[in-house]
């Protein structure tokens, strides 16, 4: 358990690592993209507490003392908490000794910086009590080999390990205990569990029995599960999106699969791996087994798109919601983040005004038109009130490949300012 200090721009957009983290190694230009620089405009600084939970290939805890430290910190004092749990995917682990800024374990604080920044904004805008913030990095052996060919072929063994950790039940029990402990400190506590790639597959293995019985919030109230570019077959979701699936109506979504259409790893590469028998699939629809849940059109339900406009100018709606069921724009941009789920059928505006720790400026530096709708115009609008969302987006939403300004939308683009804002605000919308 440690306190981490991270820099972030006053718009909440770019973040940088301070010297209190592991020393970075690699190309100077890569390090410069991640490290807070004394020659750049000074960022705001935010802090949060960070913990680690590590698991062996068989699902056992690497060190039970890690879990004890998490619970001790939660129970240290009363009051609301916000806990973000991140489960990495293929080719990653919890090792920070190599100093590579592209390592998920190293760039995790860049994700947490955006989370803390958004919570500070909500404490000002919505008058929520600013919670204590805990970021938990869940590590497992996502990389097994060192040679290029072995790394590619390791998708078979690593996907089996992700399934094993998810189905073993120890991680699930740990997450449940953490959620219960947070709620016992304050009923306004929130917990978001994010699984990326094979980490998203792990979430499916862990919670699918709950989802198939209609329990779309398996960790209880005020929790959300998010899978980013999940590497799991669509047929694993037959029990949710299939003909006789259970996907109950909820006041807001509490489980989100979010996949970028630009992500080739969960599209073409996964399909090839399935064809050659390198990844196991769930029992169910054969047609759905060859595609991941985010690329199987019959199970796609929602779409979130965005386009940029700046300095309070007129929004550009080109490429935004083309072919998507939506209502005409009925309101103008604002510097306040919208309670966007209350307006499912409209284009919405998400602004990035400057922020200090005590006040906010009305000057808008960057605005985005955030479009929320249904994937297929033939789908009823009621899919937007279901507990489990299967969202198609693009590189405009899952935008950061390395953690800096790279907008390539690659598979490892786990850090998105816009997505963190939308997910966090969703969790604080009252039922």
Question: What confidence tens digit (pLDDT) does each residue in 73-103 have?
Answer: 999 999 999 999 999 998 889 999 888 888 8
Q: What is the pLDDT of residues 277-321, one digit of tens each?
A: 888 888 877 888 999 999 999 999 888 776 554 444 444 444 444
Q: b vs e for 255-290, b when ≥16 Cβ sit within 10 Å of the residue's Cβ?
A: bbbbbbebbebbbebbbebbeeebbebbebbeebbb
Give me the pLDDT at residue 359, please: 59
H/E stretch holding 271: helix 270-275
Q: For the chain, what is the radius of gyration of the CA atoms? A: 20
**Structure-block tokens of residue 420:** 């963190």
Q: How far apart are CA 219 and CA 225, in angstroms?
A: 9
Per-residue pLDDT of the chain (431 residues; tens, 9 = 90+): 899 999 998 878 888 999 888 889 888 888 888 888 877 778 889 999 999 999 999 999 999 999 999 999 999 999 999 999 999 998 889 999 888 888 899 999 999 999 999 999 888 877 889 999 999 999 999 888 777 777 777 788 889 999 999 999 999 999 999 999 999 999 999 999 999 999 999 999 999 999 999 999 999 999 999 999 999 999 999 999 998 899 999 888 899 999 988 888 888 888 888 888 888 888 877 888 999 999 999 999 888 776 554 444 444 444 444 444 443 443 333 333 334 444 444 445 556 667 776 655 545 555 566 667 778 777 776 787 889 999 988 776 775 544 444 433 467 778 888 889 889 988 987 54
H/E stretch holding 351: strand 347-355
Task: Please give the full DSSP string across 197-241, using - where no structure is assigned.
Answer: THHHHHHHHHHHHHHHTT---TT-TTEEEEEES--SBGGGGHHHH
Neighbours of 252 (CB within 10 A): 18
Query: What is the phi/psi pair of residue 50, to 5°?
Result: -120, 140
Reported as half-sphere exposure (CB side, CA atoms, 13 A), residue 206 has a value of 27
pTM of the shown model: 0.90
**What's the residue count for the chain?**
431
Give me the pLDDT at residue 64, please: 96
């Amino acid at each position: 358990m440690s306190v981490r200090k991270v820099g972030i721009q006053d718009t909440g957009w770019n973040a940088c690592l301070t010297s209190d983290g592991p020393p970075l190694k690699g190309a100077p230009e890569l390090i410069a993209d991640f490290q807070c620089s004394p020659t750049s405009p000074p960022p705001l600084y935010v802090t949060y507490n960070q913990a680690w939970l590590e698991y062996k290939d068989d699902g056992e805890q690497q060190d039970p003392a890690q879990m004890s430290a998490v619970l001790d910190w939660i129970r240290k004092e009363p009051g609301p908490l916000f806990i973000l749990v991140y489960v990495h995917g293929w080719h990653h682990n919890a090792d920070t000794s190599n100093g590579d800024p592209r390592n998920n374990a190293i760039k995790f604080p860049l994700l947490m910086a955006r989370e803390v920044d958004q919570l500070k904004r909500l404490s000002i805008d919505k008058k929520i009590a600013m919670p204590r913030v805990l970021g938990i990095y869940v590590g497992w052996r996502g990389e097994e080999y060192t040679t290029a060919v072995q790394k590619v072929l390791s998708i078979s063994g690593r996907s089996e390990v992700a399934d094993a950790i998810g189905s073993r039940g120890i991680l699930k029990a740990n997450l449940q205990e953490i959620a219960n402990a947070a709620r016992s400190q304050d009923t306004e506590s929130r917990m978001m569990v994010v699984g990326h790639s094979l980490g998203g597959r792990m979430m499916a293995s862990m919670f699918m029995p709950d989802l198939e019985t209609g329990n779309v919030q398996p960790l209880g109230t005020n929790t959300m599960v998010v899978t980013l570019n999940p590497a799991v077959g669509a047929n694993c979701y037959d029990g949710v999106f299939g003909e006789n699936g259970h996907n109950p109506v909820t006041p807001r979504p509490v489980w989100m699969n979010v996949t970028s259409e630009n992500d080739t790893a969960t599209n073409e590469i996964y399909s090839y791996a399935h064809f050659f028998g390198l990844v196991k699939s769930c029992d169910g629809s054969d047609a759905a087994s060859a595609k991941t849940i985010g690329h199987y059109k019959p199970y796609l339900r929602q779409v979130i798109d965005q386009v940029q406009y700046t300095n309070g100018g007129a929004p550009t709606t080109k490429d935004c919601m083309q072919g998507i069921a939506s209502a005409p724009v009925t309101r103008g941009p604002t510097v306040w983040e919208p309670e966007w789920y209350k307006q499912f059928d409209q284009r919405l505006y998400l602004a990035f005004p400057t922020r200090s720790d005590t006040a906010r400026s009305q000057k808008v530096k960057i605005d985005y038109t955030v479009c929320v709708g249904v994937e297929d115009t033939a789908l009823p609008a009621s899919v937007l009130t279901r507990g489990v969302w299967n969202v198609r987006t693009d590189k405009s939403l899952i935008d950061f490949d390395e953690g800096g300004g790279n907008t390539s939308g690659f598979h490892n683009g786990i850090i998105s300012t816009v997505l963190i804002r939308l997910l966090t605000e969703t969790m604080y919308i009252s039922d």
